[in-house]
Chains A and B, each alone.
Chain A
Amino acid sequence: MSEAYASTLDISFEVKGGLLMRQLHHWSALFFIVGIALHAARVFFTGAFRKPREINWVIGVVLSLLAAIEGFAGYSLPDDLLSGTGIRAMNGFMMSAPVIGTWMTFFVFGGEFPGEAIIPRLYIVHVLLIPAILVGLFVAHLALVVIHKHTQYPGPGRTNNNVVGFPVMPVYAAKAGGFFFVVFGITALVSALVQINPVWVYGPYDPTQVTAGSQPDFYMWFSDGALRLLPGWLEFELFGTTWSMNIFLGSLLLLPLVWLILGVYPFVEAWITGDKREHHLLDRPRNAPTRTAVGLAAISMYLVLALATINDILAIKLQLSINDITMFFRLMFFVLPVIVFFLTKRICLSLQRHDREKVLHGHETGRIVRTPEGRFFEVHEPMDEYERWALVQHDTYRPLGLEAGGVDEHGVRRPGGGSGLRNALSRFYYKDTIAPVTPAELAAAHHHGEHEALDTPEAAAGIEQHSESVSDTPGAPVSGHVEDDSIGAGRRR
């Protein structure tokens, strides 16, 4: 057995508290990555990546990539059977690079696999190189938060020009400091009670051995899963050389691609919306239906790939055929994102309609009143204006309308620019936008005094008309809270 494995066993069984420290280390790493994933999702779905924070988003994306590499390097170090299998997989990834694969492998491993160089190299990557970059970028990440200030959820008095709330000192500092100890306590408790990476079960690494149910830590699953889903016929021979596209696509292509897509998203969305303004107010996810749907569809694809990594575990636990599971995942990789996109977008749109309903009619009380003529209606309680503000403050984006014949708000033809792709994407994002209630609509609803006034077909038609009328003014986004209520009111009659 190697010195690395002997040392890991020594830490586990000879050093007092060593096993607890090892488990604490590994569980912390997993919590770290889960935390990164949830943080990234929060930032994405609330639109916190928008100007001026695009660069901080990119830094965050690089940090998450480094965290994954750091994790991979770390779990490769004990040189047990599982981690050695992981390094062997990485070796295969590199070999699948067209033309340079073999040379690259020899360069990284210092010769044939496994050699004696890879563990010391990964060790220095794990304890010095990546931690140094991580700390540097992390400082930049937080410094930018200080410079930009934190984003805030929409609410009364909160605008893009202020930050409402308490300063960091002393309350938030105390809370965050306390939370550190809570997190430490939970992690320590988990590490004391739940086994992780039992290297003594796997045994020392030996290239001739492998154990059933081998898989990497979860943040590398999507790549391993892609390898399990990619069909074998993607490997072919050309001019006497082997091209392993079945491995190349799922590893050397997919790994950078995932982080590349994440990194460029803010710029792509800014390009699609044509929105160059600064945003410090967060979006409620329902108010950006297409973004929310695109994000969840991407997560569903990622999950399909990730779960494909445990197809053998699923097969034995669910008593299914591994072949069926693999075929199912192959299908789901293409079908699930479409379903998820459609469902998410519809749910967002209905939630927005429900918000409109609440603003116009107030809260449902469940109290049914019968009028002298015999009609029934439910009494709605008017919403207080603080609560209402959060539901009506957001912008309404419209498709750019840069195609030929597009005009600006003065009826002047727009100069050229804006490709067909940009228009198409803009339509895809914003063609079925639901505008928040305007003050005019609200006034109309209140003026009638009777909540059912807007329930009549004529009134409903008026709303439809109104939403179309706004799209007559393409280009710049229209603020939901228009001071001049002639747009809405004028079109309503």
Chain B
Amino acid sequence: MSSLAARRRSPLALLVLLLLGLTFTGTAYAAFAPKAAPGTSAATATQEDVEAGEQLFLANCATCHGTNAQGVDPIGPSLIGVGAASVDFQVSTGRMPLPAPGVQAERNAAQVQFSEEQISQLAAYVDSLGPGPDVPDEEYLDLEGADIAAGGAAYRTNCAMCHNSSGTGGALTRGKYAPTLMGVEPQHIYEAMLTGPQSMPVFNDQNLTPQEKENVIAFLKYIEDGGNSHGGAGLGSVGPAGDALFVWTIGIGVMIAAAIWIGRKAA
């Protein structure tokens, strides 16, 4: 019994357990990454929320954006009129508060500093400073009844030139980049289109209607779930570059190995 028990727990078990624990914590955290509740705006928030948001703002954002969100030249832009959607996008994707100065802020779920409630309060406070786009309503995020094909067409016309036709991202000038759209929350995709963060242009409701935005999101979720994955390994979805890398390394390598093998056979 005691020998059995001793054998049951290998010293490696601790390592495996630790690894599993870390993996699941990370995944669960990413899955439940906080974001403002749909429909958040100053109009839907209570006065207490706006005041709590102001306290959060003064503690976490005012250094760069100014105590009245008027902006501090050159380190932080004015936030008056950016709206709740912009705050939710920047804060709940981990882009803001900016962890370090760089070419551009990047999505990082591990850097999200606030709870869902706090982000809603922050968003309500910034929205109260001047009217701006609100966090989108649930009806445009559930992807029910969305037209994937129309979304693909809209995506290729408006998004693919920077984010790549397979949504894996692309390079911009001087180290800036259009990030990958795989694994991004529908709410965040919607808000990005609405507010045009960083180098991205704004796609307002006259440009792409809420329904068209939902179509685009549905298209992205469709290809994220493998809707476009036919014909084998995609080699990173970088077009002929991946094919060239493959054919010049593994492909021709196997061919040459076969040629050597046949050549070595006695005549």
Contacts and interface: CB of A to CB of B under 8 A. Distances in A.
B7 interface: no
B175 A320 contact: yes
Given A30-B251, A34-B251, A186-B258, A203 B156 contact: yes
B248 A34 contact: yes
Nearest to A179: B262
B171 A201 contact: no
A152 to B, nearest CB: 14
B243 A179 contact: no
A164 interface: no
B100 to A, nearest CB: 14
Nearest to B179: A316
B166 A322 contact: no
B232 interface: yes
Interface string B244-260: 10111001101100110
B243 A30 contact: yes
A195 B232 contact: yes
B56 interface: no
A29 B106 CA distance: 39
B171 A179 contact: no
A146 interface: no
Interface in B170-193: 170-175, 177-178
A178 B232 contact: no
B203 to A, nearest CB: 15
B233 A194 contact: yes
A212 B254 contact: no
Interface residues on B, range: 35 or more
A310 to B, nearest CB: 5
B174 A321 contact: yes
Interface in A192-232: 192-198, 200-203, 206, 208-218, 221
A214 B239 contact: yes
B241 interface: yes
A484 B230 CA distance: 71
Interface stretch (B44-52, B66-74, B134-142, B157-165): B157-165
A243 B246 CA distance: 39
Contact of A322 (B173, B239, B251, B252): B173
B225 to A, nearest CB: 14
Contact of A213 (B164, B243, B262): B164
* Of A19, A82, A217, most B-chain CB atoms within 10 Å: A217
B211 interface: no
Contact of A310 (B174, B233, B241): B241
A448 B262 CA distance: 45
Given A12-B230, A34-B247, A216-B240, A179 B156 contact: no
A30 B246 CA distance: 10
A208 B248 CA distance: 33
A303 to B, nearest CB: 11
Given A212-B162, A313-B238, A19 B230 contact: yes
A171 B267 contact: yes
A5 B173 CA distance: 33
A196 B231 contact: yes
Contacts of A193: 232-233
A19 B156 CA distance: 23
Contacts, number: 159
A459 interface: no
A437 to B, nearest CB: 30
Given A212-B162, A315-B177, A198 B171 contact: no
A478 to B, nearest CB: 34
Q: How large is the interface on A (under 10, 10 to 19, 20 to 34, 35 or more residues)?
A: 35 or more
B94 interface: no
Given A186-B254, A194-B233, A209 B161 contact: yes
Contact of B161 (A19, A34, A178, A212): A212
B34 interface: no
B228 interface: yes
A213 B251 contact: no
Contacts of B247: 27, 30-31, 34, 218
B265 interface: yes
User: Among A198, A201, A311, which residue has the most Cβ atoms of chain B within 10 A?
Assistant: A201
B262 A212 contact: no
A319 interface: yes
Contacts of B175: 315, 319-322, 324
Contacts of A200: 228, 230
A193 B162 CA distance: 29
A208 B157 CA distance: 7
B169 interface: yes
Given A31-B255, A195-B233, A321-B175, A218 B240 contact: yes
B235 interface: yes
Nearest to A312: B171
Nearest to A322: B171
A201 B223 CA distance: 9
B170 A212 contact: yes
Interface of B: 103, 152-153, 156-157, 160-166, 168-175, 177-178, 223, 228-235, 237-241, 243-244, 246-248, 251-252, 254-255, 258-259, 262-263, 265, 267
26 contacts: A81-B160, A175-B262, A182-B262, A186-B254, A196-B231, A197-B243, A198-B230, A198-B234, A209-B156, A210-B160, A210-B161, A211-B160, A211-B161, A212-B163, A212-B170, A213-B238, A215-B239, A218-B244, A218-B247, A313-B171, A313-B241, A315-B171, A315-B175, A316-B171, A320-B175, A323-B174
Given A190-B251, A210-B160, A313-B171, 15 more contacts: A23-B231, A23-B232, A30-B244, A186-B251, A201-B223, A201-B228, A211-B160, A211-B239, A212-B163, A212-B170, A215-B241, A218-B240, A221-B244, A315-B177, A321-B175
Interface of A: 12-13, 19, 23, 26-27, 30-31, 34-35, 38, 81-82, 166, 171, 175, 178-179, 182-183, 186, 190-198, 200-203, 206, 208-218, 221, 310-313, 315-317, 319-324
Query: Which A-B residue pairs are the 9 nearest by beta carbons?
Result: A212-B170, A218-B244, A321-B175, A315-B171, A211-B165, A195-B231, A312-B171, A211-B160, A212-B164
